[in-house]
């Protein structure tokens, strides 16, 4: 697989990464540890070198699976993880310096590594100045425990303030044909500051694969049951986007998922999406998107037909929406 650099940081990763969260939570029953380890190693064997996890996934379990899977190939991969929640308490954002250090020590142990390649603040903590957060990570970099600093779902003001203390290597945020809000303010700032962009949910939480419609029954513990975008009325309204993506993909002789991922990749060479999956055939399908190329005319034609489609429903529950820094 081709490699990409996340902005001006110099951090080089595979053009498509693997979001590992779904192995342990959120999309129905988690994989058994052995199956999760195998999927991650299968991803590496097929060219993926960028793996994304977080202490809160599980919680903790996902880092353990990722650590076991990548231990034999540690020097050939880039591991990203995140801090930022009071996991064992109230569950609210918590990026106090002492909590960051506690999180890093736990992540290093679970991931079986001596340094974290890319450490994200998972969500902005409105009670802790971002300068204190960036300063703490800067100290951890000086100590050799972290290599690069990232942020997740941060707004423009906090990105600028953090970057003034410590260069931000990457911003992680939702971005796809179904959610293009970052184009308005976030992506211009990332370009200006030379920050890489790591879109999660580049397949619209599965909607852009074309396998979900109004008749789809999600698993009882699937978090999408609480997402307004996935209620019956909004699913029906949003089918217009899926039908359009299917039509374009058929013409291009690729799958809807490949079209959606290739479109994200085409938005900039500093963009590295991290789709997640628990299925090998979906992993291979996603990897195939890295080989898809669009002409300028094709991208313009896609924009012409999808640009006017309105997506109905929020992308998170009200409680989770409130945690997003915009």
Q: Residue 278 has which token pair?
A: 């628990």
101 pLDDT higher than 90 = yes
Q: Residue 114 is part of which domain span?
A: 3-321
Task: Give me the pLDDT at residue 231, please.
Answer: 94
Interval 196-233: pLDDT, tens = 999 999 999 999 999 999 899 999 889 999 999 999 99
Instruction: pLDDT band for 64, please (50, 70, 90 cuts).
Output: very high
- What b-and-e string marks burial along 152-164, b requiring 16 or more CB atoms within 10 Å of the CB? bbbbeebbeebbe
Q: Is residue 31 part of a domain?
A: yes
Interval 154-197: pLDDT, tens = 999 999 999 999 999 999 999 999 999 999 999 999 999 999 99
* Per-residue DSSP letter, 179: B
Task: Please report the beta strands in the chain, taking only residues with DSSP state E, as ranges in sequence order.
Answer: 3-5, 12-14, 18-19, 50-52, 78-83, 116-121, 146-152, 168-174, 196-200
Task: Give me the pLDDT at residue 199, please.
Answer: 98
Instruction: State the chain's mean pLDDT as an integer.
Output: 97
Q: Is residue 77 part of a domain?
A: yes
Interval 228-269: pLDDT, tens = 999 999 999 999 999 999 999 999 999 999 999 999 999 999
User: Which residue is associated with the tokens 């990897």?
Assistant: 287
Hey, which residues are catalytic here?
A: 57
Instruction: pLDDT band for 317, please (50, 70, 90 cuts).
Output: confident
Please answer whether residues 78 and 51 qualify as being in contact, where contact means their C-beta atoms are separated by less than 8 angstroms.
yes
- Dihedral sign, Cα of residue 235, residue 241, residue 247, residue 248: negative
326 pLDDT higher than 90 = no
Q: Is residue 158 part of a domain?
A: yes
Of 198, 200, 79, 199, the residue nearest 148 (C-alpha): 79
Number of structural domains (the chain) is 1
Q: Is residue 313 part of a domain?
A: yes
Interval 266-316: pLDDT, tens = 999 999 999 999 999 999 999 999 999 999 999 999 999 999 999 999 998
Q: Is residue 16 part of a domain?
A: yes
User: For the chain, first and last CA: distance in Å?
Assistant: 34
Q: Is residue 105 part of a domain?
A: yes
Please answer whether residues 47 and 288 qualify as being in contact, where contact means their C-beta atoms are separated by less than 8 angstroms.
no
- What phi-psi label fits residue 28: left (phi over 0), alpha (psi between -120 and 50 degrees) or beta? left
Task: Give me the pLDDT at residue 322, please.
Answer: 83
Task: Give me the pLDDT at residue 164, please.
Answer: 98
pTM flag (> 0.75):
yes
Task: Give me the pLDDT at residue 295, please.
Answer: 97
Task: Measure the CA–CA gap between 134 and 131, rounded to whole angstroms.
Answer: 5
- What b-and-e string marks burial along 53-90, b requiring 16 or more CB atoms within 10 Å of the CB? bbbbbbbbbbbbbbbbbbeeeeeebbbbbbbbbebeee
Q: Is residue 308 part of a domain?
A: yes
Task: Give me the pLDDT at residue 57, please.
Answer: 98
Interval 10-39: pLDDT, tens = 999 999 999 999 999 999 899 999 999 999
323 pLDDT higher than 90 = no
Interval 102-154: pLDDT, tens = 999 999 999 999 999 999 999 999 999 999 999 999 999 999 999 999 999 99
Of 265, 244, 251, 211, the residue nearest 311 (C-alpha): 244
> Which CATH number covers residue 234?
3.20.20.100
Q: Is residue 326 part of a domain?
A: no
């Amino acid at each position: 697989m081709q490699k990409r650099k996340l902005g001006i940081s110099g951090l080089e990763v595979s053009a498509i990464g693997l979001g590992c969260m779904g192995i342990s939570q959120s999309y129905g029953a988690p994989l058994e540890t052995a199956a999760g380890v195998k999927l991650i190693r299968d991803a590496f064997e097929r060219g993926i070198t960028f793996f994304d996890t977080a202490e809160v996934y599980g919680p903790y379990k996902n880092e353990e699976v990722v650590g076991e899977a990548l231990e034999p190939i540690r020097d050939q991969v880039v591991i990203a993880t995140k801090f930022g929640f009071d996991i064992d308490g109230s569950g609210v954002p918590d990026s106090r310096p002492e909590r960051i250090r506690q999180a890093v020590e736990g992540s290093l142990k679970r991931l079986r590594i001596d340094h974290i390649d890319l450490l994200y603040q998972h969500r902005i903590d409105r009670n802790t100045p971002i300068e204190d957060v960036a300063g703490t990570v800067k100290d951890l970099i000086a100590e050799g425990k972290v290599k690069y600093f990232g942020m997740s779902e941060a707004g423009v003001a906090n990105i600028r303030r953090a970057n003034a203390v410590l260069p931000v290597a990457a911003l992680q945020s939702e971005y796809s044909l179904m959610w293009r809000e970052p184009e308005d303010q976030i992506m211009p700032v990332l370009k200006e500051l030379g920050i890489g962009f790591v879109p999660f949910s580049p397949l619209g939480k599965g909607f852009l694969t074309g396998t979900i419609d109004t008749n789809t029954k999600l698993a009882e513990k699937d978090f999408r049951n609480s997402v307004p975008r996935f209620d019956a009325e909004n699913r029906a309204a949003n089918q217009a986007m899926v039908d359009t993506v299917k039509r374009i993909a058929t013409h291009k002789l690729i799958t809807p998922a490949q079209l959606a991922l290739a479109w994200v990749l085409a938005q900039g060479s500093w963009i590295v999406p991290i789709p997640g999956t628990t299925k090998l055939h979906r992993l291979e399908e996603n990897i195939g998107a890295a080989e898809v190329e669009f002409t300028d005319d094709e991208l313009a034609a896609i924009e012409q037909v999808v640009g006017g489609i309105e997506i109905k429903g929020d992308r998170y529950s009200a409680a989770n929406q409130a945690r997003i820094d915009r």
